[in-house]
Structure 1
Amino acid sequence: MALPVQTQVKFWSITIAVLAFALWYLGDVIMPFILGGAIAYFLDPVADRLEAAGLSRVAATVIISFFAILCFVIAFLMVVPTLVSQAIALADAAPALLKQLEVFLTENIPSLMDESSTLRQSLASLGQAIKERGGELVGTIVSSAMGVINVVVLLIVTPVVAFYLLLDWDRMVAKIDGLLPLDHRPAVRQIASDIDRTLASFIRGQGTVCLVLGTYYAVALMVIGLQFGMVVGFIAGLITFIPYVGAIVGGTLAIGLGLFQFWGDWWQLGAVAGIFVLGQFFEGNILTPKLVGSSVGLHPVWLLLALSVFGSLFGFVGMLVAVPVAASMGVVARFFIGKYQDGLLYKGLSTQEAGDESDAE
């Protein structure tokens, strides 16, 4: 006999509250384990394919870990310093860029740029604010990140956690499956399968799309000589998970910077625009259909809300778990909506009576 509904609701409510408190209170402590779990989940399909090719789980895990650490070290030594320096330089150059925009508007649309113009005053104040706060913001982000994810965590704890979780991933999943409540095992398995499919499509698929497009934008913009091209590519790739927003924001920023740098050289400006047009074509016709699929059931507004709420409540760790939690909540909500639509509360007694009359005939 199953437990009463009230008892089950009380049990799961207490469980969720305890997990939320642990996430809030132990956020910095458990972060390497969350990062390690995310890395292991991301790389588990690769390990499964290597196992299918004839390697043992240990050998597959060792090979994957070696290449993952190698890529991380290369990125940390070569990409991160350039990215940070360009971000700080962009913040410092913003007042000069806005001054050039002010001169351009004064020469071409003088009515908008008289001494009492609100637009002129806004540009001046915006440039000064960016200069004062931009570099400080970048430095604060870097120093805060390094305060939370220190060198030991980056180089030792997180890779070790990821290694052992990846090594034992299948056994852990089987163990958890064996602990599921017998009365609810089919429903829980269905929900877990839907969550896994959604996360696999979004985190693995969309994460790969963001990485590929961000790299493409950064390299292509740097090749044509656009200043701060790496920063623009990083920004565009980072927000690519929001449909069209990554290309629009990155393209607007790149073209805006290109106008100041390449004014009069329309071929290079056209090349900047062409990079983003080609990137959108590549994403929409090749990357997203192949890596993400037709639908993952995660609306961009829902994702932004989850990131904002969890980031505000739990800090950086909350932002790490926001997407998985949002995906899980969406799957659970759709499951119960389906149950509701199959029940009498939705269909009403008239539907049941109609079915009885049909059976009687």
Structure 2
Amino acid sequence: MSQTPGAPGTPGAPNPQDSGSRKHVGLADIAGAAGVSKATASRALRNPESVSSGSMAKIKQALAILGVDSRAPHATSREMVALVRPSVTAGDVDPYARLFDILTSKIFAQGIAAVHVEAASNRVDALAESLLGPVGSDPHIQGAIVLGGGPAGELAAKLAARSLPQIRVSNARHEDGISRIVLDATDGITTAVQHLVHLGHRRIGLAVLRDSAAAARIAVFRKAMANVLHIPATRDQAPVIEAAGGTMAGVSAADELLRQQCTAVIACAPSLSFGILEAAARTRLDMPRDLSLLTVGDVPDADVIAPPLSQVSYDWEAVAVSALTEVRGMMADPAEAVRIDYSVTPDLVLRASAVPPQRR
């Protein structure tokens, strides 16, 4: 990690009844479950000594029911940190799932209440109001860690407008003045190209999500192909497919790259990787004998997929520690907080999905 200027089942982690989704727990939820006013709930979370023992007992019980209570002495800590990620559509894959779980565990281990937030486009204003409270009042939370872009980025901007201590973890830089850890996939793409060429591949395709980071990733891919293979790396020589999110988009991207006779594909999102695996199965290709696949980014259970996926991935433990350390420092002294900008490069993890090319 270089600096430039400028789970369920885990002790203390939420345990929602539906393990496939996470529910945002706001002050109104806590107050409603405890049968007290929002003002009483807010005072209890900030200063437990300011409310009666009866009200405090009700609020502790409500926190436990809602999955916020860590059943530890610090369960009602005055500090509350929002852990924000974009909502994921049905059938898609959350690229931040592992980091989210690690952060949850570490936040609760430090005696802080973690408020899980899934940001959707139609809920950004309501979520901001729930987390911040009325203008002119103290926010209900003391800090935030925001994962990803889209609606999560929109919510981060609203939190920044109220000067809330926060740090963003995303795959793109923005001049918005918010401290951030950038997951730099560009070096990972270069590493992926170098490894596949070393294996003997010459016809390599790129599948990338159609988002704000696409142009930079495509440029790096074509530059790497030109430098490593000593070719002009035109569109014909370095095929690229920009796809929407979701597994079916990955299937479509894979179909097109296979039509262009690619022997290896670099996928820049988990959903695209799963789509490529599906497309290979539909066309009865033997992976990796007929098609090698290397993913840039974190794929859940990559080591147990058939075939186990080679990937360029991040040290999520290190990212989580840095994000939590930085935001806690900002919370301790907001007036002296200095904007930070970290860039994290991924490492190559070799498994079985990338091998030398075979005749197809």
Under a length normalisation based on structure 2, what TM-score does the superposition of the two structures give?
Answer: 0.21
Query: Normalising by the residue count of structure 1, what TM-score does the alignment of the two structures yield?
Result: 0.21
Larger Rg: 1
